[in-house]
Amino acid sequence: MQEQKVNVDPWGKALVQDYTRLMKEFGMKEISSYPNESLQFRRGVNFAEQGMQDVINAINEKKNFYCLTGIMPSNTQIHLGTATVIENVKYFQEMGAKTYVLIADVESQATRNVSIEEGKKRAMEFHIPAYIALGLDIKKTNFYFQSENKEVSNLAAICSQKITENEFRAIYGSLHPSKVMSAFTQMGDILHPQLQERMPGVIPVGIDQAPHIRMVRDVARRLGDYKFFLPGAVFNKYTSSLDGSFKMSKNESVGKLDIPEKNEIDLEKKLKKAFTGGRATKEEQQKLGGQPEICIAFEYCKFHFIKDDKKLDEMYQNCKNGKTLCGECKQKYLIDGAKEFYKDFDKKFENARKNIGKVKFIE
């Protein structure tokens, strides 16, 4: 049998069927145990990490470390998977990390043809208040735009001296100028907090960003004089499409949920179509029980909508023992859970928008 190709392209349609092979290929390991373990780690939303020992030590010894992530303003909304990244940032922020969230406007200009002005507008009107609504502390988060951070672009130029053409092609599969531009800018992002203070850092990202992490660690090692700590990363899984047909990255737009969703009726319609682990007939399901392991409704509840472990366990058990059938289960857990999630988001979003003047920006 032919080996399955592990295809990870930060700008393409990434498809991962085999997380174990991917982890081996990229030198990742399973998520370690963390103090006050976050829900995402415990439930396996984050399935792998790389180079996290320095950060773990810093947390335990109450030393300085940072957490940084970036998001492209490619749309006027965000994907549900982005909420996971923000949850990760929130966790490390609560553990004491100096927190940086950047708007990747240079990257979305280069790779998505979204102008710098448009990117900024989207960020101010939607993305930044959305990240605050999802739980970031407005007083403790340092935001910036790639296009406005000189340290980042200077560091990008320095990083560009440390990689050969062949290495770049081997990691990214291309030498397209817009990818080269974006990749080096991202390296500048990831390392720049250490210009002020050398400290361990964690970069929470979707698995599609694995090539950037690999590259920046190599580059940091080669910038010996700078004495950078090699940045670590925690990786989260793609959210499945609602029909269960594929795992997607942020770049794909079919069969998925966004934040926000237009209205409850559309939301409910979409969720009603979610793939479940139900059996062929009612009788069979009552006898054998359902299959939460392959159920997308369960996955969405576990990853996003049901934060209460007891409630999630109840959903699981009632499925397993055939007590609750799929239609009822969807209504009770998935649809109600999602409505609650979105209602809560909308409320916090409005509030965050009113407070946009209090957001801290790095100049």
* 319 binds ligand TRP, rule: CB under 6 A: no
Beta strand ranges found along the chain (DSSP E): 29-30, 46-50, 66-71, 78-79, 98-103, 141-145, 201-206, 232-236, 239-240, 247-248, 258-259, 360-361
Q: Which of 28, 78, 104, 301 forms a contact with ligand TRP (CB under 6 A)?
A: 104
Taking Cα atoms as reference points, which of 344, 250, 256, 345 lies closest to residue 300? 256
Q: Which residue's beta carbon is nearest to the bound ligand TRP?
A: 70
Q: Least distance to ligand TRP from the beta carbon of 295, Å?
A: 29
Q: Least distance to ligand TRP from the beta carbon of 229, Å?
A: 15
Site size for ligand TRP (CB under 6 A): 15
Phi and psi dihedrals of 185, rounded to 5? -60, -45
The one segment of 64-72, 259-267, 290-298, 330-338 that binds ligand TRP by CB under 6 A = 64-72
Angstrom distance (rounded) from CA 86 to CA 348:
15
* 220 binds ligand TRP, rule: CB under 6 A: no
* 97 binds ligand TRP, rule: CB under 6 A: no
Q: Smaller CB distance to ligand TRP: residue 102 or 334? A: 102
Q: Are strands 232-236 and 46-50 parallel, antiparallel or unpaired?
A: antiparallel
In a 3-state reduction of DSSP, which class is residue 103? strand
Which residue carries 């920006």 as its tokens? 361
Q: Which of 87, 107, 261, 299 forms a contact with ligand TRP (CB under 6 A)?
A: 107
The one segment of 25-33, 88-96, 100-108, 238-246 that binds ligand TRP by CB under 6 A = 100-108
Q: Smaller CB distance to ligand TRP: residue 150 or 358? A: 150
Q: Least distance to ligand TRP from the beta carbon of 164, Å?
A: 22
Residue 74 structure tokens:
């490619």
* 58 binds ligand TRP, rule: CB under 6 A: no
* 49 binds ligand TRP, rule: CB under 6 A: no
Asked whether 298 and 326 are in contact (CB, 8 A), the reply is no
* 87 binds ligand TRP, rule: CB under 6 A: no
Start-to-end CA distance of the chain, whole Å, equals: 54
Q: Least distance to ligand TRP from the beta carbon of 11, Å?
A: 7
The one segment of 12-20, 41-49, 182-190, 280-288 that binds ligand TRP by CB under 6 A = 182-190
Residues contacting residue 259 through CB under 8 Å, at least 6 positions apart = 77, 78, 79, 80, 82, 83, 130, 342, 345
Q: Which of 133, 205, 326, 338 forms a contact with ligand TRP (CB under 6 A)?
A: 205
* 190 binds ligand TRP, rule: CB under 6 A: yes
Longest dimension (CA), the chain: 69
The string of DSSP codes covering 261-317 is: -S-HHHHHHHHHT------SSHHHHHHH---GGG-HHHHHIIIII---HHHHHHHHH
* 123 binds ligand TRP, rule: CB under 6 A: no
| Interacting residues toward ligand TRP by CB under 6 A | 10, 68-72, 102, 104, 107, 186, 189-190, 203, 205, 209
